[in-house]
Amino acid sequence: MDLSRYMKTSTILFTRGILVDPGTGTYGQRDVLVCDGLVRAIAPSLAPFQEWKRAEEPLRIYDLQGRHLLPGLVDVHTHLRVPGQEHKETLESGTRAAAAGGFTSVLTMPNTKPALDRPAIVRDLKQRIGREAVVRVYPVGAVTRGQKGRSLAPLEALDRAGAVAFSDDGVSIMNASLMREAMQRALRLGRPIVSHCEDERLARGGVVQEGAVAEQLGVKGIPHAAEDVMTARDLTLAWDTQARLHLAHVSTAKSIEMVRRAKDRGIHVTAEVTPHHLVLNEKAVLEVGSNAKVNPPLRTEQDQQALQAGLQDGTVDAVASDHAPHHPDEKALPLAEAPFGVIGLETTLPVVLSLVHQGVIGLKRAVELLTTGPATAMGLDSGTLQAGRRADLVVVALEHPFRVDVRSFRSKARNCPFDGRLLKGRALLTMVGGEVVHEDREALQGRITMH
């Protein structure tokens, strides 16, 4: 194959793929034609496609032979660590990890150094994104100055600079009056507030979930109530203000139940859960140590089941990675001193698919939780494939078994609780705006032709 022709063409046809798009209610075999970065046509069959073929340009065809074609995945919760903590992750490594995991849009949290609390910092980050990122990256602005919880950041100016939501993620905003004012101002801007629900005093000094495992390890536990009292407070404030509230990493049965009731009441709340809280519980830390130390902590088996029930009945809107890279030296510290957080961009899709393979949720629901669910929660124009819209998509081999190997990760970090685990289903090709940003050439071998 002439590689220069292959690289240059911007006309690409995906044929015989199974398209799953909850945004348009499509489920079935479709051909998808991409031209100049946009989806040009979607139909059960685009053969003969000659009318779109341009004389001056070759057409690249991917024959998917029953592989699945999904809208590019959307992750509303990542920590790309830029600016200031590039020893943990960079825009280049973090977005390559996203692409390898099937994500075409990610939100990056503002707990950076400095925090994303001033418009100049957001503007500078956006310029760096333009130069270094291979997927779309949307900055989340800080709610309070320096994320210190004492005074509000200039939310209106951050909005103008490009922040798509506001959060002090990493810490809770303990001052209810500040949180209320933040909600009122975010509401006027049409932006959601993303809340990290954790009562500072109830959680203080805690390392893992309160209970038998904490006792066995001889470390302080974090009670369920640390999360639940703040969930209750923020739902009350959202009820009061009518603001859009998005709850990050919901991890307890009680918080899921509160979100369920709040939605019944018409409160504007959306909720995300993480892959690790869905498939692991407090016992994981006994096996993998600090690579299972996260905030909120991995909870009990009953919590895990409640989160899965939340996926099933629509209480949960999105699965988000909470990708939290740390340097291996930091995670090598003793459990009590190691930082909280695990990476997830390269394992979220297969972990969610493991719930499909186990019959916990159907494929359509799984795709919804990774595309339209998160996109709608954050008001993003993505997560669906339609003619005339930008060509952000992912090709997935649903049944493809592989062993997770952190050494193969694009992320700079290695703090993954699933290392060594056998999973099924991964991204073979990821496309952002018509450009292939990740491709498993080996798996696609024999399926790519030029015309």
Q: Which residue is nearest to Zn ion (CB)?
A: 196
Q: Please say which residue, 29 or 175, places its beta carbon nearer to Zn ion.
A: 175
Q: Measured between alpha carbons, how far is residue 444 from residues 61, 397, 404, 440 in Å? A: 11, 10, 20, 6
Q: How far is the CB of 168 from Zn ion (least distance, A)?
A: 9
Q: What is the CA radius of gyration of the chain?
A: 22
SS3 131: helix
Q: Please say which residue, 248 or 404, places its beta carbon nearer to Zn ion.
A: 248
Tally of CA atoms within 13 A in the half-sphere of 149 that contains its CB: 12
Quick note: the x/- pattern for Zn ion over 182-221, rule CB under 5 A, is --------------x-------------------------
Residue pair 301/255 in contact by the 8 Å Cβ criterion: no
Q: How far is the CB of 169 from Zn ion (least distance, A)?
A: 4
Q: How far is the CB of 307 from Zn ion (least distance, A)?
A: 16
Total residues in contact with Zn ion, by rule CB under 5 A: 3
Q: Please say which residue, 82 or 427, places its beta carbon nearer to Zn ion.
A: 82
Q: How far is the CB of 298 from Zn ion (least distance, A)?
A: 14
Give per-residue burial for 251-274: e unless 16+ CB within 10 Å, then b.
bbbbbbbbbbebbeeebbbbbbbb
Strands 221-222 and 245-247: unpaired
Tokens of 224: 């369920």
Q: Which of 169, 228, 346, 439 binds Zn ion (CB under 5 A)?
A: 169
Strands (E), 223-352: 245-247, 269-273, 318-319
Tokens of 165: 């939501």
Beta bridge partners of 222: 209
Q: Which one from 75, 303, 322, 392 is the annotated catalytic residue? A: 322
Q: Please say which residue, 213 or 248, places its beta carbon nearer to Zn ion.
A: 248
Q: How far is the CB of 86 from Zn ion (least distance, A)?
A: 21
Residue type, 385: L
Site for Zn ion in 243-272 (CB under 5 A): 248
Residue type, 120: A
Q: Which stretch binds Zn ion (CB under 5 A): 168-176, 356-364, 386-394, 437-445?
A: 168-176
Q: Which stretch binds Zn ion (CB under 5 A): 54-62, 240-248, 343-351, 365-373?
A: 240-248
Q: Which stretch binds Zn ion (CB under 5 A): 14-22, 31-39, 165-173, 199-207?
A: 165-173
Residue pair 18/66 in contact by the 8 Å Cβ criterion: yes
**67 interacts with Zn ion by CB under 5 A:** no
- Is residue 322 part of the annotated active site? The answer reads yes
Which residues form the interface with Zn ion (CB under 5 A)?
169, 196, 248
Q: Which residues are catalytic?
A: 322
